Structure 1
Amino acid sequence: MKLSQEAITYAGGNPLALKVLGSHLFGMGIEEWEGELEKLKGQSLKKIQDVLKISYDGLERDEKEIFLDIACFFEGKRRDCVERILEACGFHPKGAIHRLIKKSLISISHECIEVHDLLRQMGKDIIIEECKQPGGRSRLWNYEDIDHVFTTNTGTESVEAIVLDPYSTIDYFKPSPTAFTKMCKLRMLIVNYEDFEGQVPLPNNLEFLPQELRYLEWDYYPWTFWPSNFCPKNLVELQISSSKLRQLWNGDEHLENLISLDLFGSEDLIRIPDLPKTAPNLEVLKLSYCRSLTEIPSLQNLSKLTQLWLNGCCEVTYCPELPCSIKFLTLEGTGIEQLPSSIEHLTQLDHLPLEGCKRLVSIPSGISELKCLITLVLGECSNLTSLPESIKQVSKLESLDLNGCERLKRLPDLPSSLKTLSASKCTSLKSASTSFLLEDHARGFFNSKLLQFDNCFTLEDKKKVIEDVIETHLLGQDVGLCVVGGEVPERMRYKNKIGSSLSFELDLRHLIAFSFCAIFHIQDYVQQSFTCRVDFIDESGHRHRYDFSHSLFLTTIDLYHQICFSSEHMSLWLDNKKFESVDEKCFVEASFYSKERVEIIKCGIHPIYSRKRSRNEEHQDDEEHQPAFQRLEEEKDNNIKRRRINYEEK
């Protein structure tokens, strides 16, 4: 107890200081406690940071370096991003960050690193105390200090890391051509500043960048070339988005440590080097929206490459051969006409976006080898006329997007794993196989499915598609459908000829679900939801109300282009919502509505029963010789007469 009181006294009553001190002393014996507290005697308790620094002093060397980087640069940043940058700098951050958390020097909230203001200031004070002049300090984060060092060329080999905060108050940023000449030990450089073409002219080019750089991130890099002598052999990650670069290197460099290269939005880039030769260990290559790039050398020998981003490279007409290590590939908006033959070897690929590849004419049959593929996006591939029969063998495919494939004429058999089929605005589509809907029945249904054929006016298989969906409903499978159509299907037991409501008498015994149908017309369509509000009215006149809702989620193309329905469409869906406290037989009043701008023209409901139901019960439901309201009123009158007779007998 005495030692605990001493610890509270030494912490000056400050909760944070007490927490840090407690974390430092945790797990120590009494003698160790006495020794640590003895160190504090005689120190000024006015400076709480003297107490806070105790935990810092107990860290290993690399742990101290990591804490200082976090305190100066990375408070509030995502933990995974910080770990990636620190790994690039040669540290082992995962274990170190765990130890910093344990010693209460940092904390994690919503996957982001947090550092208390006092601890962050302590870390910055440690750096400031290194040298009176900013150019002699290991880390620079303050804009005024960075500007002073860059414009006066006072940087030294002590500078290890520079981060220019994009949220700093900056009038302009003008590094001199020789700003980095003396910073030969600079390992990390992050410059997030856009307005390089603002108030002052820039020098023609930088004359020097340190070869010791391991992590280089420079958004809006303003020059067309690197310094002529820049060969960053230690570089691990290079992120130069929206730059003015026209080319990277001549191709003679050997960057064996480079694992990530990001040139997003570098619209002036016209060529990249032979990367298997220059950077043989590359794992991530991002060339998104490099609009002037016309050709990409073969990447097949990059055996560690897992991610390739080419989306928005509209002038690239040929996709390079790819290594089998690829796990992520995006080719949206490119000018490619076909996929490379090596596509069949990408057995780890789970997502393949090809949206907006307007020159793409075919998909190779080898796509059947993509056993891990879950999502295939072909929206707005306006020259695509068919899919290979082998697509049925893509056994894990769950989502197929064909929206806006205006020349697509037929859909072959699809894998039974498919959950979402989006074929909006396929205006030439005539044939579509939906047999995959019924193939899961033997194994049982576990997932809902959604089919969208809106604005497919030439679909000749429409009746078969509707029948297949209703058949799955009868089997208890949740399948939603949107298709051109102006009539409620004949198989719907209860339907009207016009309007958004209907009423009928219903036997609830063995009822397991309802199949709903809405015929509608709509002016604009981003996301459409329908609700059928059902009132179950029992013999005593009590109402039991339930809402059965269904949503159609359209794809990106629809959100951008605001597809309009130019004719009546049909929406079918199933709902197996459980309801209680309702008599076995009741009267039903149902009304369909939508919160969006939609007119419901006709509607229908079909009750679905379990197999336990007898044929006699089915036959009784089919007897509709009397109007429903009349039968309900007659039953009420009979009930009243029976109650009156029972009362008189008493």
Structure 2
Amino acid sequence: MIRDMGRGIVRLESKKPGERSRLWHHKDSFQVLTENNGTQTIEGLVLNMHMLPAFAPSRNSNTVVLEIKAFTRMPKLSLNEFPVDLTKIESLKVFQADGVPIHQLLTSTPVLDISWASYLPCGLVNLSVRNCNLFDDDFPKNFGSLSSLQKLDVGGNPISSLPDCIRGISGIHELSFSCCTKLKSLVRLPAGVTHLDFAQCTSLEKITYQSRRNLKGWGWGRNDNLVEFEGEFKLESIERVDKEMIDLLSLSKLDPLETIMMDSSEIFGWKGTHPIQGLYEAGIFSTFLPGDKVPGQFSHRSTGSSVSFTVPLVPNLKIRGLNVFSVVAQSNNNDSDPMTNIVNIDGSEFPTITVLSNKSDGRKWIYGPIFFGVPCEGKDVTWLSHWRLGNRLKGGDEVTILIYTKSEFKVKECGIQLVYYDEKDQDKIGSTQHVEDPCFLRAGVRSTIMFYTLKGTQGMFYGSDAWGLYRIGGNIDLIRDINEKSNKEEQERDLILRLAAESGSKSSSNKCGLKVWKGRLIMATVLFLSLPLLARSSLFQQRKKQQPSTSPP
């Protein structure tokens, strides 16, 4: 009687079913859905599909078209009972249950020891259970018959690690864990995953795969604790770096308690004082040391931001790679190096970028680390790195290193040291690289600088193959500018050397030849001395164009 009285009161709210707060009669529910005339007043709706034949418009057919978009007009509507008959809907491909309290709904089902995933149809392709308050134990041991599942979104749930059931889905391509703030690790992800979203996972520390990954794009942002991303980078304290790398860079005498001011790409929140770290990224190992004392020996050193050399032929030894260092200090307008700042990287997230050019075969690598040391007032920073190049270098190759910095910094010194190994010890050499070798070039220029492919509200989406000159992205102009300016700088230096060489080959006994020799030598000297001034003037003009005009219109 009380129930009937309540229904009578609701019925008096409006003559139109779509304007009432609750619909319990199947006829009213079907009418609202078929005619798409629901309103935000509706808070409850009973939909009994077994009563569908009674509502069919034709006795010869039991088919009724229900407009799913009708539910968007009823924002106050909530699901009160989990649809346990979903398994019978063989054609269902997409099931989105965001915000649905699955546990509460299952209390009304007759069988409680069956996982919620057991009610899903086997042909499901896309499943979203965001913000459903699902914990680690709430995921089944396996998804059973969900062999067709390709896209899964479990974002916003209080999970701490990758559920085991997800590891067993071989056909899954897209995974989203965005806003899982308690998530600490994604270990042994399925190898078939091509798109991964872990933006806003503020506790996430580690991401690894079951086998070689196929990742093509990912979303991240506010990942302040992420220190290992298999295939991209690994950051660890210098104490944990393998001994082989420590020996290669002569780091055995470092004080493990020494600290340095660190910063990072805007994706991370790593700004502050930290112990000395080792960074594996793009086949390159880097570490940043406080001060300007460079450990180890470097056969090719130069004051300023560039150094060049020719690879010698050494019998019975093979090239392992290069050790590279640069000493970076704070700068001001009076002592900045125009050659260092000839490329404007002030708008980028990389304070220092290294360009390695093999002029003999035209290959070039552009690298900006995502974690980096920052010079403080009165205290320099030494960037020390090992580039594992292997057979990408050979005797006779002409190699140039160029270091670019933001205008607030300057490069005081840089240097290169070739690292060899004996052919007999090739099998004994350990693998010190945690990520892809940077020298597997698909084109002429390899850029490890990442770029935006899509900017979302949750974070930033990146492509895994950062081939800067051949894809459009947020850093494409920077990479193109670096490539063009470094080419121009190398050409100018080659011109100086060529003029000097040609001048030296002339006979000094011939008066005419002597005049030509003197003239060319003077021209080469003037050109060499003019390069910094020309660069400074060019840089000044670029910055002047970028500044807003203060003259009246």
TM range (shorter): 0.3 to 0.5
Larger radius of gyration between Structure 1 and Structure 2: 1
Provide TM-score, normalisation by structure 2. 0.43
Provide TM-score, normalisation by structure 1. 0.37
Structure (1 or 2) with the greater strand fraction = 2
Pick 1 or 2: higher relative contact order, CA cutoff 8 A, min separation 6.
2
